[in-house]
Structure 1
Amino acid sequence: MTRSARFLKRSVALGAIALAALSLQPGAASAATEPAPSGGTPGTRVVGGVPAAQGEFPFMVRLSMGCGGALYRQDIVLTAAHCVSGSGNNTSITATAGVVDLQSSGAIKVKSTKVLQAPGYDGNGKDWALIKLARPINLPTLRTTTDGRYDQGDFTVAGWGATREGGGQQRYLRKATVPFVDTPTCQQAYGSTYIPGEEICAGIMSTGGVDTCQGDSGGPMFRKDDAGAWVQVGITSWGEGCARPGKPGVYTRVSAFSQDIAEAADQL
């Protein structure tokens, strides 16, 4: 059985994007319309997460096909390969940046010009892609790890994805902390479907309850480096359901592809 037949990719089906867009309209009855974080008590939370503050993660990007991403360079977004349909010229994607509230008048919106999907991507592993933007976005970028030194510990994930398995997309950016899950434990959870050299797992094995979910695909998993700066270690990829006990989230291991990503960015 292929991975796509058994496990839910954490992107959003096209039909769900239309429903999500409707839910983001003013006055719509949806968990997506919880009040903006301003010191009050938040409403529905993203699979154990909380609202992110404006400017907390300036590198975060929302992509119009229903995925997340991060500014790799000011004119290039790093996302998941399964979020795009292939490589080549592509002007159909809109990147939204600079805000936690997708309805904010301050949102920066830039169209894509090209897409590069990871060479050799076949739905299993190698789940990374780059999107070239029509113009640079003047915001901080997210540095990617170049080795495995930061591939453990507690990680931060963020996105506009569902607050629960099967839920709708969100208006406000949310964040959560997920602990590293070692390779033997992840292999026990997913068997041969998990690719240790290319993927990294994170989540609370015993209880679940904290995880990325549908619509968070392509978004970064990151942590502080030794100097206290954010560094990206993962790309939200897949998992069995969302926040289930014993079923951690699976992320593209950025350290395994950092050189390939850098070389691809130079050619994009």
Structure 2
Amino acid sequence: MRALPVLLLALAVSAQGRELLQISSQILNGRDAERGRFNYVASLRFPYAKDTGVKLNEFVCQGVLIRPDVLLTSAWCLVNSGMWPIVKLASYETNGGPAEVRRVTATVWHSGYTGTIDDVQDDVALMLLDKPSSVTPVQIAAASRDPLARNDKLTIAGWGLTQDDPLATSKHLMYASQFLLKQQRCAEKWSSGDNPVQNGGWDTNKILCGAYAGHNKALCYGDAGSPLLRRGATAAGDLIVGIGSQSACKGDSFLGGSIYSNVAHYYGWIQNGIRILKSSTVQGYGAWKVARKADYPPKPTCKGIGHRCMESNRQECCSGSCFIWACWPSA
């Protein structure tokens, strides 16, 4: 079982049995966010017209501003939103409303991300914006500190589904509370049974899981790339400790809660990835894979990098190859 982005539900039946959700961006049973409180949370919009199952400028994923010109997101969002999506910051409404709009010009993702159904580790990526944002970036958890006390009340924020119903989309930003669980408990919940959701990785601290006992609150379809935050008194004091990766869109059952990439674990990867993004001469290597929009000009006769494709018809992509539902660079 695997979490599916809500916008791809129509494709799910034919997509090699990917039935659970690798989330795109929604909050199950969340509350209305205070307008302007989470301006650093970015809405990622699909940048192409006439692709299967999605419209131009449709909301498909999330990211978080960690530098004036850099977003932190999940590697899955590169599948769901394309390599270089339209970005809305300081936005509140899911669609419409005032916002600061930017375009993505380059991406870096973790080479360990394979997108396999029962083990999505290294689900992290970075996006470079075409110009800096005026929004204050959020702080990221550093590798040298441990902000993850298990009794901390943390916050998730996102747009999209407010319940396990593809039609229950939110009109604006929502938030909810989560508490981190011990890694052993996470392993018991998510890597057991005949169809484990997250098969391993709990002993590496690459991933975290959270829930809110007795409350049906969690990430849901559409929440990939959404932040797990330790909130400060104001937005300037917020700290991002996790990036939304997987969920069963349930809050209080055995599979209740959600799975996050541990930002502190990837602190060094993030810093090096930012340097790669900002250097036009540095190519991806080791744990870093890079794609720059200028290196992949559009071709009118076939689908280029970032467009939707079907794994059953890999020849759709005129450059790269079909990875899950998107044309990705081969390198």
Task: Give yes or no for TM over 0.5.
Answer: yes
Q: Which has the higher helix share?
A: 1
Structure whose alpha-carbon radius of gyration is higher: 2
Q: Gaps spanning 5+ residues in structure 1: where?
A: 1-5, 18-44
2:161 aligned with 1:167, yes or no? no
> 2:89, 2:100 within 8 Å by CA — same for their partners in 1?
yes
Partner of 2:184: 184
Partner of 1:71: 65
Residues 67 and 224 of structure 1, relative CA distance in 2, 3 Å threshold: same
Residues 159 and 16 of structure 1, relative CA distance in 2, 3 Å threshold: farther
Amino acid at match of 1:137: S
Could you say what the CA RMSD is over the residues aligned between the two structures, in angstroms?
Answer: 2.6
The CA deviation at 1:106 is: 1.9
2:120 aligned with 1:114, yes or no? no
Instruction: Give the TM-score taking structure 1 as reference length.
Output: 0.78
1:54 is paired with a residue of what secondary structure?
Answer: coil
Residues 72 and 216 of structure 1, relative CA distance in 2, 3 Å threshold: same
Question: Where has structure 1 moved over 6 Å in runs of 4 or more?
Answer: 225-228
> 1:51, 1:174 within 8 Å by CA — same for their partners in 2?
yes
Partner of 2:75: 81
Partner of 2:56: none
2:127 aligned with 1:140, yes or no? no
Residues 51 and 144 of structure 1, relative CA distance in 2, 3 Å threshold: same
Q: Gaps spanning 5+ residues in structure 2: where?
A: 12-25, 47-59, 192-197, 278-331
2:265 is paired with a residue of what secondary structure?
Answer: helix
Partner of 1:59: 40
Separation in structure 2 between the aligned mates of residue 261 and residue 127 of structure 1, nearest angstrom: 12
> 2:177, 2:212 within 8 Å by CA — same for their partners in 1?
no
Separation in structure 2 between the aligned mates of residue 16 and residue 262 of structure 1, nearest angstrom: 37
Partner of 1:27: none
| Worse-matched range after superposition: 135-144 or 116-125 | 116-125
Residues matched between the structures, number: 231
Q: Deviations over 1:144-177 (max 9, x none)?
A: 1013511232110000021112334322000111
Q: Deviations over 1:161-197 (max 9, x none)?
A: 2111233432200011111111111111112624222
> 2:242, 2:261 within 8 Å by CA — same for their partners in 1?
yes
Separation in structure 2 between the aligned mates of residue 53 and residue 225 of structure 1, nearest angstrom: 14
Residues 193 and 48 of structure 1, relative CA distance in 2, 3 Å threshold: same
Amino acid at match of 1:81: A
Instruction: Give the TM-score taking structure 2 as reference length.
Output: 0.64
